[in-house]
């Protein structure tokens, strides 16, 4: 199958290490034959909303193709940390509040969740689509059972959120979380068997809710690029996606670009992998066609 869509692209305006220019993104995506592609710079808390403003300004100048769209990747945040950041009630301890108050006193149970952007701001910046992603636990524990449950609750929150169109990279952070990287860093390991222990009931419910709320699940290239992940864990991840597909979930594709340039070979390899796992173009939802 041919990948014609890439909705998950970070530009140099993203708050992290992303460094691609909007001009290069447009040229490379059109060269590859993408008919629908878009920016998705990060919004965590309102603290880094200024990044989206600058991304939008540049987009308005350099994005000239009708195939090029303006989206965001919004992180699932806790209400208490967003409130504290909005009130200026934080101390910088190495981490800017761009990433929330992750390493302060985290609760043991999933707190009230929210996005760091409002509907009015989405209209203000003419944001055409929202990818919602979990990037870290909202609880401070190394108990695997609680961490799976927390990641699951965050994903349910995103699927049910009226502003979210796409669930980003399902289970993205679970290997870090289960490995204890958010509690014991540095020195903690990534647990590359973490996919194997995701409870089936969670995946079944996530698939059912994606269908019920008409939301897309993202097939994100970064989820397939860890060569040290055991074969069995890779198979498990594919099986989750295949089960969702068979349950009627529609997908979007993203290469989660953070480098200066997209890797054409990686996209071509992904096309082969998708085909080998029974994915066809009709399983992907084109948002703008």
Query: Which chain residues interact with Zn ion by CB under 5 A?
Result: 73, 133, 168, 256
> How far is Cα of residue 244 from the mean position of the Cα atoms in its chain?
17
CB of 51 to Zn ion, least distance (A): 13
Instruction: Give the residue with the Cβ less far from Zn ion, 247 or 266.
Output: 266
**Distance in angstroms between the alpha carbons of the first and the last residue of the chain:** 18
Contact assessment for residue 101 and residue 157, using Cβ atoms and an 8 Å cutoff: no
96 burial (CB, 10 Å; 0-12 / 13-18 / 19+) is middle
Q: Which of 168, 209, 171, 166 is nearest to 190 (CA)?
A: 171
- Give the residue at shortest CB distance from Zn ion: 133
CB of 121 to Zn ion, least distance (A): 19
Instruction: Give the residue with the Cβ less far from Zn ion, 105 or 253.
Output: 253
Instruction: Give the residue with the Cβ less far from Zn ion, 58 or 204.
Output: 58
- Give the residues across from 78 on adjacent strands: 113
At 87, is the secondary structure helix, strand, or coil?
A: coil
Instruction: Give the residue with the Cβ less far from Zn ion, 247 or 258.
Output: 258
CB of 128 to Zn ion, least distance (A): 16
Would you say the C-alpha torsion 106, 218, 191, 201 has a positive or negative sign? positive
Instruction: Give the residue with the Cβ less far from Zn ion, 38 or 133.
Output: 133
Contact assessment for residue 178 and residue 150, using Cβ atoms and an 8 Å cutoff: no
> How far is Cα of residue 262 from the mean position of the Cα atoms in its chain?
17
Q: Which of 279, 137, 172, 163 is nearest to 215 (CA)?
A: 163
CB of 8 to Zn ion, least distance (A): 6
CB of 114 to Zn ion, least distance (A): 17
CB of 134 to Zn ion, least distance (A): 8
Instruction: Give the residue with the Cβ less far from Zn ion, 72 or 82.
Output: 72
One-letter-per-residue 3-state SS of 221-281 = HHHHCCCCCCHHHHHHHHHHHHHHHHCCCCEEEECCECCCCCCHHHHHHHHHHHHHCCCCH
Instruction: Give the residue with the Cβ less far from Zn ion, 204 or 237.
Output: 237
Query: What is the C-alpha separation between 45 and 100, in angstroms, rounded?
Result: 6
CB of 88 to Zn ion, least distance (A): 27
């Amino acid at each position: 199958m041919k990948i014609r869509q890439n909705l998950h692209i970070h530009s140099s305006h993203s708050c992290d290490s992303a460094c691609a220019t909007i001009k290069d993104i447009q040229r490379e995506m059109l060269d590859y034959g993408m008919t629908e592609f878009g920016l998705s710079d990060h919004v965590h808390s309102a603290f880094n909303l200024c990044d989206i403003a600058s991304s939008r300004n540049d987009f308005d100048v350099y994005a000239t193709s009708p195939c090029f769209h303006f989206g965001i990747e919004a992180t699932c945040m806790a209400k208490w940390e967003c409130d504290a950041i909005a009130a200026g009630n934080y101390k910088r301890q190495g981490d800017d509040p761009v990433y929330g108050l992750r390493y302060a006193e985290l609760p043991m149970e999933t707190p009230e969740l929210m996005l760091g952007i409002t509907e009015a701001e989405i209209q203000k910046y003419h944001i055409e689509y929202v990818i919602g992603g979990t990037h870290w636990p909202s609880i401070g524990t190394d108990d695997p059972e609680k961490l799976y449950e927390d990641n699951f609750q965050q994903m349910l929150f995103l699927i049910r959120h009226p502003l979210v169109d796409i669930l980003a990279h399902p289970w993205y952070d679970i290997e870090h979380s289960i490995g204890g990287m958010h509690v014991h860093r540095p020195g903690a390991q990534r647990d590359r068997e973490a996919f194997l222990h995701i409870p089936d009931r969670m995946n079944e419910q996530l698939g059912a809710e994606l269908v019920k709320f008409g939301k897309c699940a993202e097939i994100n290239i970064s989820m397939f690029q860890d060569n040290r992940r055991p074969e069995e864990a890779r198979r498990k991840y594919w099986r989750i996606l295949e089960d969702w597909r068979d349950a009627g979930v529609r997908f979007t594709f993203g290469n989660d670009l953070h480098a200066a340039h997209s890797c054409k070979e990686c996209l071509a390899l992904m096309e082969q992998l998708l085909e080998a796992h029974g994915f066809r173009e009709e399983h992907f939802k084109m948002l703008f066609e």
